């Protein structure tokens, strides 16, 4: 496979994909810097900080899926999107259920384990 000239259309596609990656990288960078910056240099209340961290993390996950893994709402990617959404459903059930059950048990029987 050798180096070859790109057609005009391909060159356009390439630069648009490059822009996608750059956008993704920039957004991810900002979303990383915000929580780290707040945690390192400000005296924000813990509660607010937790919320900011959580929101930034969720948005960043979406950014990674959208810009790096190219998950979109396009029709031919539905199967994969369904797969991911189903996984999110199962994760929610399992993780949520685990936390609910165990913290309830702690509350009733092992208060020392409550953070």
Partner 1 sequence: MNHWAEWLLGRLDWSALPFWDAIVDPTTKNIVNAIIASGAGAMVILGGLIAIGVLTWTRRWRWLWSEWLTSPDHKKIGIMFIVIALVMLARAVIEAVFMRLQQAVGLGGGFLTAEHFGQLFTTHGTIMVFFMAMPFLTGIINYVMPLQIGTRDLSFPVMNSVSLGLTAAGAALVMVSLILAPFSTGGWSGYPSFTESAANPGAGVDYWIWAVTLSTLSSTLTGINFAVTIYKKRAPGMSWFRLPLFTWTALCTAILMIFGMPPLTVATALLALDRYLDFHFFTADLGGNMMNYVNLFWAFGHPEVYILILPAFGIFSEIFSTFSGKKLYGYGALVIATMAIAVLSFTVWLHHFFTMGQSAHINAIFGIATMLIGIPTGVKVYDWMLTMFRGRIRFAVPMIYAVGFIILFAIGGLTGIILAVPSVDYQIHNSLFLVAHFHNMLIPGLLFGMLGGTNFWFPKAFGFRLEERWGRRAALCWIVGFMLAFFPLYALGVLGMPRRSAAFFEPAYLPWTLAAAVGALIILLAMLLLLIQLWVSIRDRDTNRVPAGDPWDGRSLEWSVSAPPPEYNFPVIPEVHSRDAYMRQKENGRGAHPRPDEYTDIVMPANSAMGPIMAATGFLIAFGLTWYEWWLVAAAGIVSLIALVARGYVRQRTRTIPAQTVRREHEAWLERVSRIRPVSRREEQTPANQGLAMSPLEGAIQ
Partner 2 sequence: MTATPSRHPGLNLGHAHGDAHEASEEFVFGFWVFMMSDLILFGLLFATYVTMLGGTAGGPGPGELFELKSAFIETMLLLVSSFTFGMASLALKYRTDRKVLVAWLLVTLLLGLGFLAHELYDFHKMFTEGGVPSRSGFLSAFFALVPLHGLHVTGACIWLIALLGQIAVHGLDTPTKTGLMRLAILWHFLDVVWIGIFSLVYLGGIV
- Binding stretches for partner 2 (CB under 8 A): 1, 3-4, 6-7, 9-10, 13-14, 17-18, 21, 24-25, 28-29, 32, 35-36, 39-40, 46, 49-50, 53-54, 56-57, 60-61, 64-65, 68-72, 74, 76-77, 79-81, 83-84, 87, 90-91, 94-95, 98-99, 102-103, 106, 112-115
Report the b/e string of 24-59 with b at 16+ CB within 10 A: beebbeebeebbeebeeeeeeeeeeeeeeeeebeee
- Residue 97 in the binding site for partner 1 (CB under 8 A): yes
Nearer to partner 1 by Cβ, of 1 and 109: the residue is 109
Could you tell me which stretch among 2-10, 24-32, 53-61, 84-92 binds partner 1 (CB under 8 A)?
A: 84-92
Which option in partner 1, partner 2, none does residue 10 bind, with CB closer than 5 to 8 A by kind?
partner 2
Rounded CA-CA distance 94/72 in Å is 26
Q: To 5 degrees, how large is the angle CA 73–CA 77–CA 80? A: 105
Q: Determine what percent of the chain falls in helix, strand and coil, rounding each to the nearest 5.
A: 85, 0, 15
């Amino acid at each position: 496979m050798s180096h070859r000239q790109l057609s005009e259309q391909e060159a356009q596609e390439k630069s648009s994909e490059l822009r996608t990656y750059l956008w993704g990288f920039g957004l991810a960078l900002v979303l990383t810097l915000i929580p780290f910056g707040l945690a390192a240099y400000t005296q924000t209340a813990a509660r607010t900080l937790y919320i900011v961290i959580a929101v930034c993390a969720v948005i960043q996950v979406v950014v990674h899926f959208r810009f790096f893994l190219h998950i979109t709402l396009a029709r031919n990617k539905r199967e994969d999107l369904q797969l991911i959404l189903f996984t999110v459903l199962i994760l929610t059930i399992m993780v949520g259920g685990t936390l609910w059950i165990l913290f309830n048990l702690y509350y009733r029987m092992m208060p020392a384990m409550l953070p």
